[in-house]
Structure 1
Amino acid sequence: MHSSKLWLRHYPQEVAPSNDYPNINIAQFLADSAARFPHQPALDFMGKRMTYRQLSCEANRFANALVSLGLEAGDRVAIMLPNCPQMVIAYFGILSMGGIVVQTNPLYMEGELKHQMADAGAKAIVTLDFMHRRVLAVKPHTAIQHVIVTSLKEALPFPKNILYPIKAKKDGQDLQVTYNDEVLSFQRLLTDASPQVDLAAVNAREDIAVLQYTGGTTGVPKGAMLTHMNLIANTLQVAHWFYRAEFGQERYLAALPCFHVFGLTVILNQCIYAGGMLILLPRFEISQVLKTIDRLRPTIFPGAPTMYIALIHHPDIKKYSLSSIKACVSGSAPLPIEVQETFESLSGGRLIEGYGLTEASPVTHANTVWEKRKIGTIGIPLPDTDAKIVDSDTGEEMPMGDVGELIVRGPQVMKGYWNRPDETAHVLRDGWLYTGDMGTMDEDGFFAIVDRKKDVIIASGFKIYPREIDEVLYEHPSIKEAVAIGIPDEYRGETVKAFIVLREGATVTLEEIDAWCRERLAAFKVPRVIEFRDSLPKTIIGKVLRRKLLEEELKRDPNDDEQ
């Protein structure tokens, strides 16, 4: 209906609508930057720095260590680490020897971890000392042969490396590790390996680089097969969009986790490709972020709306300088206009909203950074990316301005879901990725997301699948029925609310339910609000009407007290 790419007229003249993408191993990004900027800092972690030459040598050592353990090209190796140097070393090391990276959220509890490791068929995993017992607990149910353990202590500068174990013990973390033939020291593996390696040759369009787990538009986590070309293309697409960024000059603030596909592409891959300095923060702690911005002067700060909200509302914001920040792209959730305007006035930089999904590596749309943008939209498709709004059932393009499903195609779109051909066929049709998000396109080619096709909850950028929470609650002996929904939250975008019907004569406290959930779910999935009810609304066949509960919630007076 409107096959012409209306958005191209809004491209900056510096951004070509189409580009070439090299058929290489994405680990070549690190090798190239190490050759071009050997003595420049690649990483800064809590004050300790590593140059590009050092990072490249460490990644090479890890690649050789994996080969010495018997791992081969195509084997899956999981990384269960927060943002730290070891995460970057492991990532590029796995890719360098032709392995497939399996990104794993360090917050995952045993049930979540077991499903992902078993599904991926991972043969090895890299994790932290205080997390490794979780891995050992699920190891018998997986193909994992090697548990490679590291410690944040190894990456910290003096005297933080001395103080860290004291603080960890105070926080209740057990750093003790018993090494054996199956539990191996990350540091010892590096020490014993050669720093020279020949990058594994790959067919970038076919060979998988990363298995990135997502629920997609359904609640069962599955691995999106992201090829080397998918990740190379999306890294370069975003690099072209930020055309004022200078090679070897930028400082990227990694407050977003790099195990999240947004952080992986827009921060980690982007920074290493451009020869920038990656400022790694193991978690988003607002005071630490402000101090880091003030001290290290990052120039590029991708994030989620919750991060920018926390910054602008911090009581001491005026004590810190944000003036180094040139550009930020916000993803994972809608960006409120007042947040955008306030952040830009404080920093003097540009904060734009974009859009992506795991299945597209992830970025497909963004507002232009320094040119025309439309508040409340996700912007326009990136170079070499096509997009349409269609009828979900027929695939027919909708009239301009009408709501339909957003579909996209481009070199960043995944190969498919790991070992799930039926689900792949459902979302990849005739070369188009059906996103499951409902949206519109206007006369300028700008797209807006208006609703989700499914009931996925997005809290602080994390996708949460209500069915998973429902199942955990149903397992509680006092609970008869339960259903979780996402409710509006000024800070997190959405937060989880659970409606619970107790068994007759049963009693349970909010604290007991909270504890039950925390033992079985990652912290970000635990319901923040709980409401007890005598019954739940259902269809004639007994299916709980989740949407009806959400409609009731949206009509609720925000001043009403909740249980």
Structure 2
Amino acid sequence: MAVPAAASVRDANRYRPPRVTGLADLLDRQVRERPYARALVVTGERVRLSYRALASLADEVAARLGAAGLGRGAAVGLICANTAEFVVALLGAARAGLVAAPLDPALPESQLSARLVALGARAVLLDASASGRGVMLPVPAWSLRVDVSEAGTAAVALEPGVCDAGNARGAAGELSERDALVLFTAGTTDRAKMVPLTHANVAASLHAICATYELGPDDATVAVMPFFHGHGLFAALLSSLASGGCVLLPERGRFSAGTFWDDMRAVDATWFTAVPAIHEILLDRSEREYPGAQAPPLKFVRSCSAPLNTATQRALERTFGAPLLSAYGMTESSHQATSEPLPQRGALRQGSVGRPTGVAVRVVDRGGRSCPAGVEGEVWVQGPTVARGYLADGDESARTFVDGWLRTGDLGALDEDGYLSLTGRIKNLINRGGEKISPEHVEDILAGCPGVAEAAVFAVPDAVYGQRVGAAVVVREPDGVGSEEILRYCRDHLAAFEVPDRLELVTGLPYTAKGGLDRKAVQARYAP
């Protein structure tokens, strides 16, 4: 597609890769060279917070955490929305030599407590949205408040107590001051896996993301994805700060489709990243809400964390007038592993999630042998962004991390130019009488049917075939396309064994906090 002149990329000589070694020095270059440049735009009044002010707040929090008796390498939890408090707490913990573990504020108290105990967190920092819930947690909970004036001056309020200086409990005994983060893998159980990421992992990830999109001080974005997951944390927040750009944090720290384009205009955004579900929401509302010529000119739009069907991709590019770049990553690889390049740096290929970015990627068969180009197998990733394993889970670490390679559990194929296409998850495959069916592939076909908004495909138990194919489909108009028309479309575009045996029209689908389809909830709701 043609890229508008306003979105053409700057001369390559102007791009400067970030010079960071981890979270602790993330702001240092900008504080030296551009201290009064905007780092964040916060609150409903959209007040600017400079790099110098942000660094000062982080240093103050670091000093108070250190004075509370938290030794270097100790773990602290963060329970915050996408607020200034989250950013200050994260960077303050890093500057104090601590390991930060962001948690989803929406989790019930029992799950928050279980994760803090399993980690061995010494304390947890809360913003107003979390502390206002009045949850009782098994570790000292300290409320953090950042006050920013309209003039951009800021102050922090944090009164930590004194922490027990005893030996680390839980998984924290496996951490050291080389570690920066512990991220919990997406899931709704108390036993979500804990992924430790070092400062070196973080730095490698940020270098790759910034280089892929040539991010710099002229760039700005709106925080759409939550910071307690890698997508929002690495791709939106940390990469922007590492490259000297700006991030607008929406009011109350949560994405709002109703204010999104006003937020984008307020910060003169040049790009944004989201999951397909949010892209679908913005596309559905674009006819009445997209500001057209008044919208900021975008260099690109990024999609990650779930498959994006090609029909939606084309519609987004037509509507927003910018290339949509699909990326692929996971918590265990410090988020991004592959991405489509900027248009002038390489070809955009329908159905691809791009080329490796700072890592090596191979596709292997069941025997661990590399597959030829175009042949499907399991995707393996190796490189400086890959975690060393899981905390307190040696068996799962041994299964997932093999000779320096991360076994992703994703199915895909590499073409002759090294572009990766994903075809599904090994664990999601439906076995219909020996025929292996990728639900993601069937969903992509369903999404291409005129009148279909989204679809979820699941296994239906069957006494004869073992499993049959079920589908829950959301249509754009209540009186629009019907089940028979959808099935007719499927018969024209799918193999006979892939066509859903059961199809149900529904008003909506369940999603995880990360924004991906909640397949466990789909299975429980529609398969019986």
| TM-score normalised according to structure 1 size | 0.69
Q: Are 1:381 and 2:381 an aligned pair?
A: no
Q: Are 1:316 and 2:316 an aligned pair?
A: no
Instruction: Name 2:395's counterpart in structure 1.
Output: 422
> Residues 224 and 559 (structure 1 numbering): CA distance in 2 closer, same or farther, change over 3 Å?
closer
C-alpha distance in structure 2 between counterparts of 1:539 and 1:30, whole Å:
60
Match of 1:347 among 320, 330, 334: 320
- Preserved CA contact (<8 Å) 2:127 2:145: yes
* Residue aligned with 1:416, SS: coil
C-alpha distance in structure 2 between counterparts of 1:271 and 1:91, whole Å:
15
Instruction: Name 2:476's counterpart in structure 1.
Output: none
Measured against aligned partners, the alpha-carbon deviations of 1:283-331 in whole angstroms (never above 9, x if no partner) come to 1211111221233321121111122221122141344533422122210
> Residues 217 and 188 (structure 1 numbering): CA distance in 2 closer, same or farther, change over 3 Å?
closer
C-alpha distance in structure 1 between counterparts of 2:461 and 2:319, whole Å:
47
> Residues 40 and 187 (structure 1 numbering): CA distance in 2 closer, same or farther, change over 3 Å?
same
Measured against aligned partners, the alpha-carbon deviations of 1:11-39 in whole angstroms (never above 9, x if no partner) come to xx969xxx999783432121221111111
Instruction: Name 2:371's counterpart in structure 1.
Output: 398
Instruction: Name 1:94's counterpart in structure 2.
Output: 93
Match of 1:251 among 220, 231, 243: 220
Q: Are 1:555 and 2:501 an aligned pair?
A: yes
- Preserved CA contact (<8 Å) 2:30 2:51: yes
Letter in 2 for 1:147: A
Instruction: Name 2:412's counterpart in structure 1.
Output: 439
> Residues 34 and 494 (structure 1 numbering): CA distance in 2 closer, same or farther, change over 3 Å?
farther
Q: Are 1:32 and 2:29 an aligned pair?
A: yes
373-382 or 247-256, which deviates more: 247-256
Letter in 1 for 2:48: R
> Residues 290 and 275 (structure 1 numbering): CA distance in 2 closer, same or farther, change over 3 Å?
same
Instruction: Name 1:263's counterpart in structure 2.
Output: 232
How far the C-alpha of 1:434 sits from its partner, in A, is 0.2
How far the C-alpha of 1:426 sits from its partner, in A, is 0.9
Instruction: Extract unaligned runs of 5+ from structure 2.
Output: 1-10, 161-174, 430-438, 472-496, 508-524
How far the C-alpha of 1:335 sits from its partner, in A, is 1.6
> Residues 156 and 54 (structure 1 numbering): CA distance in 2 closer, same or farther, change over 3 Å?
closer
How far the C-alpha of 1:238 sits from its partner, in A, is 1.2
Q: Are 1:60 and 2:59 an aligned pair?
A: yes
- Preserved CA contact (<8 Å) 2:82 2:223: yes
C-alpha distance in structure 2 between counterparts of 1:426 and 1:91, whole Å:
31
* Residue aligned with 2:194, SS: strand
Instruction: Name 1:235's counterpart in structure 2.
Output: 206
Letter in 2 for 1:378: V
Instruction: Name 1:149's counterpart in structure 2.
Output: 143
How far the C-alpha of 1:347 sits from its partner, in A, is 2.7
How far the C-alpha of 1:268 sits from its partner, in A, is 1.2
Match of 2:427 among 454, 471, 477: 454
Pairs within 5 Å for 1:294-373: 294-314=265-285, 315-320=287-292, 321-370=294-343, 371-373=346-348
Measured against aligned partners, the alpha-carbon deviations of 1:350-401 in whole angstroms (never above 9, x if no partner) come to 2100100100001111111213021111111113x11111124x21112332
C-alpha distance in structure 1 between counterparts of 2:499 and 2:254, whole Å:
31
How far the C-alpha of 1:115 sits from its partner, in A, is 1.9
Match of 1:290 among 242, 247, 261: 261
C-alpha distance in structure 2 between counterparts of 1:21 and 1:43, whole Å:
18
C-alpha distance in structure 2 between counterparts of 1:295 and 1:342, whole Å:
25
Q: Are 1:279 and 2:237 an aligned pair?
A: no
> Residues 217 and 382 (structure 1 numbering): CA distance in 2 closer, same or farther, change over 3 Å?
farther
Instruction: Name 1:517's counterpart in structure 2.
Output: none
How far the C-alpha of 1:264 sits from its partner, in A, is 1.0
> Residues 130 and 381 (structure 1 numbering): CA distance in 2 closer, same or farther, change over 3 Å?
closer
Instruction: Name 1:84's counterpart in structure 2.
Output: 83
> Residues 53 and 421 (structure 1 numbering): CA distance in 2 closer, same or farther, change over 3 Å?
same
> Residues 450 and 207 (structure 1 numbering): CA distance in 2 closer, same or farther, change over 3 Å?
same
Measured against aligned partners, the alpha-carbon deviations of 1:105-128 in whole angstroms (never above 9, x if no partner) come to 111112221221111111111123
Pairs within 5 Å for 1:524-535: none
Measured against aligned partners, the alpha-carbon deviations of 1:71-119 in whole angstroms (never above 9, x if no partner) come to 1111111111111111110010001111001010111112221221111
- Preserved CA contact (<8 Å) 1:323 1:347: no
124-133 or 64-73, which deviates more: 124-133
* Residue aligned with 2:137, SS: helix
CA RMSD across the alignment: 3.7
Instruction: Extract unaligned runs of 5+ from structure 1.
Output: 1-12, 159-184, 191-203, 457-484, 500-535
C-alpha distance in structure 1 between counterparts of 2:407 and 2:378, whole Å:
7
- Preserved CA contact (<8 Å) 1:401 1:442: yes
C-alpha distance in structure 2 between counterparts of 1:348 and 1:418, whole Å:
44
> Residues 134 and 119 (structure 1 numbering): CA distance in 2 closer, same or farther, change over 3 Å?
farther
* Residue aligned with 1:90, SS: helix
Pairs within 5 Å for 1:393-542: 394-455=367-428, 537=461
Measured against aligned partners, the alpha-carbon deviations of 1:480-516 in whole angstroms (never above 9, x if no partner) come to xxxxx9995969966699x9xxxxxxxxxxxxxxxxx
- Preserved CA contact (<8 Å) 2:457 2:469: no
- Preserved CA contact (<8 Å) 1:218 1:454: no
C-alpha distance in structure 2 between counterparts of 1:553 and 1:138, whole Å:
48
C-alpha distance in structure 2 between counterparts of 1:37 and 1:547, whole Å:
59
- Preserved CA contact (<8 Å) 1:110 1:135: no
Letter in 2 for 1:556: R
C-alpha distance in structure 1 between counterparts of 2:281 and 2:29, whole Å:
37
Letter in 1 for 2:185: T
C-alpha distance in structure 1 between counterparts of 2:330 and 2:52, whole Å:
33
C-alpha distance in structure 2 between counterparts of 1:20 and 1:248, whole Å:
11
- Preserved CA contact (<8 Å) 1:94 1:101: yes
| TM-score normalised according to structure 2 size | 0.73
> Residues 400 and 100 (structure 1 numbering): CA distance in 2 closer, same or farther, change over 3 Å?
same
